[in-house]
A and B are shown apart, each in its own frame.
Chain A
Amino acid sequence: MKKILISNGHIIDPANKIDQTGSVYIADGKILSVNEQVSDFTADLTIDATDNIVCPGFIDLSARLRDPGQSYKGTILSETAAAASAGITSLCLPPDTSPVIDTQAVTELIADKSEKANYPQVFPIGALTHKLAGAELSSMAALKHAGCIAVSNATAPLSSLLVLRRAMEYASSHDLLVMYHPDIPSLSNNGCAHEGAFATRYGLPSIPEASESIAVAQCLELAELTGCRLHFSQISCKRSAIKIQQAKKYGLKVTADVAIHQLHLTEDDIEPFNSSFHVLPPFRTKKDKQSLRESLANGTIDIICSDHQPHDLDAKLGAFPETEPGISSLETLLPLALRLVEDNAITLYQGIAALTQNPANTLAIESGALTLGFAADICIFDPNLSWTVNQDSWKSEGRNTPFWGQTLKGRVTHTLQAGKIIYTL
């Protein structure tokens, strides 16, 4: 296999506490050396990374690929290609595909398709309950065996707290991570916007913060009761962050992520009735955005994810409440993370940790680091390269993003997965 030298880049690898200019040596798809010269190393390929950042490939904890089942919105092929162009080398696929990821067969189908696509590694997340119906436990042991990295009920409701308790206990018995989407459906009540000034002004069915924070509080109690490894997916408000912070202080094994767009947009930014802004959880207030940014900086929130949800045109063509929620967000992940650095909300080092080391720790996988012997999953990006979000630059099938037409700074130049170049600009 090829020997690759990535030379003269600014290497940032939080897992190994590296933040300096140097070279990365790759052989047989693995990290051979970082910074230390290797004797007798003749590179088959040298990538000059001058002025660029070299870091572990990003790990995205939530990316819908719409495959199997909704190939008119996106496919494993199209969306993993988009992910590769965004510097992502591993991603987790939530179980709400069609059919649901609740059997070995579906898990294997996904593994098979993503292997053929030859792009980032796809980790299926198994369903927490049978058919995601919220009533009966899924065959978690079989799912784990087939390759599911965690279990989750995605955004589907659970019929009772008892089911959640049992599911957490059972997952914990098989040492499976539970990823939980905090939401009390009877409180979010089919809303489509944050319960605030925007929803009041435009007469939209609204979702209070409490529908999320109550679910966080309940699930934290159950995490203590069951000893389950718990991860909160896509936190959107200050009240949730406060509860997670308290739980962490108390010593509970819990992690949390935030969707990148929640760190940038609020209800004040929504263009009236523009369905590109229809997302769940909804864009909250400035105060919430500020709190989410602080939580990321102080470690309450560990991870930034894309929460990628590509849609076809028809899904977003309608009156706002009738359209399908979600943003196509793989490709804006890095530039928006860099904007947080520009805004002095976090450091570049923290941002990269939130995209690499931290998700790897939550998933308990040997990835997200340039550790010697690890698979060479690497992202090289130019933090100053500007590009415009338009049909020429965009790869995802879903063009549903509120950032369409905007010029963003920061672009991936190379993505390597296990030492293989899966994307070059």
Chain B
Amino acid sequence: MKNLQLNTEGKLKHFLSVDGLSKEILTEILDTAESFSSMSEKQVKKVPLLRGKTIVNLFFENSTRTRTTFELAATRLSADVLSINIATSATSKGESLLDTIRNLEAMHVDMFVVRHAISGAGHFIAQNTAPHISVINAGDGQHAHPTQAMLDMFTIRQYKHDFDQLKVAIIGDILHSRVARSQIQALNTLGTKEVRVIAPKTLLPSHVESLGVTAFNCIEEGLADVDVIIMLRLQKERMTSALLPSEREYFKCFGLTEERLKLAKANAIVMHPGPINRGVEIESSIADGPQSVILQQVSNGIIVRMAIMSLTLQNNGEA
């Protein structure tokens, strides 16, 4: 089947998922982001790559961090940005989602950045929007959050270089995490030596090994000798839906503590997509400690999103 994300020349025109993209495409994103990296230190933090383009941030689900970095990224590319927060309840039907898209389309926009609570919403919009519009998935249900995954890959590459030498552990609510799915796909596509997931069975998808990972129910075993530790945020509602007994027990069994961190390689880095729950999934001293690259991830979020926005718009007709 034709990949919806690629144009006729096989280049990225939408960015909906890491799934199905080649190592070359992912590397191109990382390299392009790197070319923007010196920019943030400059006096004028802008390039005219997307001048005259209109980008609409369509957030059907609340988010501050992701929306802000998308806004900043678009502004630094000199695009005009419009951010719309839409209450999920008003557009729970596909029909009205489509109407929203059609109305904005009529205003001659060039890109949609979409966050939505339903898996597949990004694909649906990309399938149903005008061909000149690029769609970037800023998180859909439990499916994918590919820009987050790419900024994480960028951060790993900054500190660790060769993926084929790395052991990476992702810890936490894999089942409900679109971030984890995209990270796993990106890590595997980039040739990571070993990808591990660590969680109780209630927070692991049924066929998690089919994603190309090794699953651990014991954090001590899973952390042994890893180069990269990725923590995931634990949502409060997991306690009310019989998936976990309490935050305290979770921290006791799966929280990242100084003690447990010692099991990983001495130069291991600790990542978290944010926002973090101190004392629930991670000890405060680690989050603020020397091995944490959590804030670096946030900075990288801007340049990686700049890279993705400029590449997709360039590949979708004339930029």
Is A319 an interface residue, CB under 8 A from the partner?
yes
Contacts of A320 in B (CB 8 A): 119-120, 124
Closest residue of chain B to A314 (Cβ to Cβ) is: B95
Is A322 an interface residue, CB under 8 A from the partner?
yes
Interface string of B125-148 (1 = CB under 8 A from A): 000100000000000111110000
User: Contact: A317 with B143, CB < 8 Å?
Assistant: no
Contacts of B141 in A (CB 8 A): 203-204, 319, 321
| Distance of A204 Cα from B181 Cα, bound (Å) | 12
> Which residues of B from 178 to 195 have beta carbons under 8 Å from A?
178, 181
Contact for B19 among A201, A205, A318, CB less than 8 A: A201
| Distance of A406 Cα from B203 Cα, bound (Å) | 40
Contacts of B205 in A (CB 8 A): 199-200, 206
Contacts of B140 in A (CB 8 A): 203, 319
Is B92 an interface residue, CB under 8 A from the partner?
yes
Is A185 an interface residue, CB under 8 A from the partner?
no
User: Contact: B93 with A318, CB < 8 Å?
Assistant: yes
Interface size class on chain B is 20 to 34
Where chain B touches its partner, the secondary structure class is mixed
Closest residue of chain B to A316 (Cβ to Cβ) is: B94
Q: How far is the CB of A278 from chain B (nearest CB, A)?
A: 10
Contacts of A321 in B (CB 8 A): 118-120, 141
Contact for B210 among A200, A203, A205, A314, CB less than 8 A: A200
User: Contact: A203 with B181, CB < 8 Å?
Assistant: yes
User: Contact: A204 with B119, CB < 8 Å?
Assistant: yes
Is B123 an interface residue, CB under 8 A from the partner?
yes
| Distance of A199 Cα from B204 Cα, bound (Å) | 12
- Residues A319 and B207 in contact in the complex (CB < 8 Å), given A201-B19, A203-B144, A204-B143: no
User: Contact: B207 with A200, CB < 8 Å?
Assistant: yes
Contacts of A195 in B (CB 8 A): 206-207
User: Contact: B206 with A317, CB < 8 Å?
Assistant: no
> Which residues of B from 83 to 134 have beta carbons under 8 Å from A?
92-95, 97-98, 116, 118-121, 123-124, 128
| Distance of A366 Cα from B186 Cα, bound (Å) | 61
User: Contact: B206 with A319, CB < 8 Å?
Assistant: no
Contact for A319 among B19, B116, B144, B208, CB less than 8 A: B116
Is A142 an interface residue, CB under 8 A from the partner?
no
| Distance of A195 Cα from B210 Cα, bound (Å) | 12
| Distance of A64 Cα from B310 Cα, bound (Å) | 49
User: Contact: B124 with A273, CB < 8 Å?
Assistant: yes
Is A197 an interface residue, CB under 8 A from the partner?
yes
Q: How far is the CB of B67 from chain A (nearest CB, A)?
A: 20
Q: Which of A203, A271, A272, A318 gathers the greatest number of chain B CB atoms within 10 Å?
A: A203
Is A323 an interface residue, CB under 8 A from the partner?
yes
| Distance of A205 Cα from B98 Cα, bound (Å) | 22
User: Contact: A322 with B208, CB < 8 Å?
Assistant: no
Is B44 an interface residue, CB under 8 A from the partner?
no
Is B211 an interface residue, CB under 8 A from the partner?
yes
User: Contact: A319 with B120, CB < 8 Å?
Assistant: yes
User: Contact: B1 with A197, CB < 8 Å?
Assistant: no
Contact for B94 among A201, A205, A208, A318, CB less than 8 A: A318
> Which residues of A from 206 to 236 have beta carbons under 8 Å from B?
206, 208
Is A250 an interface residue, CB under 8 A from the partner?
no
Interface string of B1-43 (1 = CB under 8 A from A): 1000000000000000001000000000000000000000000
User: Contact: B120 with A200, CB < 8 Å?
Assistant: no
Is A147 an interface residue, CB under 8 A from the partner?
no
Is A157 an interface residue, CB under 8 A from the partner?
no
| Distance of A204 Cα from B140 Cα, bound (Å) | 11
| Distance of A318 Cα from B141 Cα, bound (Å) | 14
User: Contact: B206 with A206, CB < 8 Å?
Assistant: yes
User: Contact: A273 with B210, CB < 8 Å?
Assistant: no
User: Contact: A201 with B121, CB < 8 Å?
Assistant: no
Residue ranges of A at the interface with B (Cβ–Cβ < 8 Å): 195-197, 199-206, 208, 271-273, 314, 317-323
10 closest A-B pairs by beta carbon, nearest first, are A318-B94, A203-B142, A203-B143, A197-B210, A200-B205, A273-B120, A319-B120, A319-B121, A319-B118, A320-B120
Kindly list 18 other residue pairs between chains A and B, CB separation below 8 angstroms, not including A200-B211, A273-B123, A321-B119. A195-B207, A196-B206, A199-B207, A203-B142, A203-B143, A203-B144, A203-B178, A204-B120, A204-B143, A205-B142, A208-B206, A273-B124, A317-B95, A318-B93, A318-B98, A319-B124, A320-B124, A322-B93
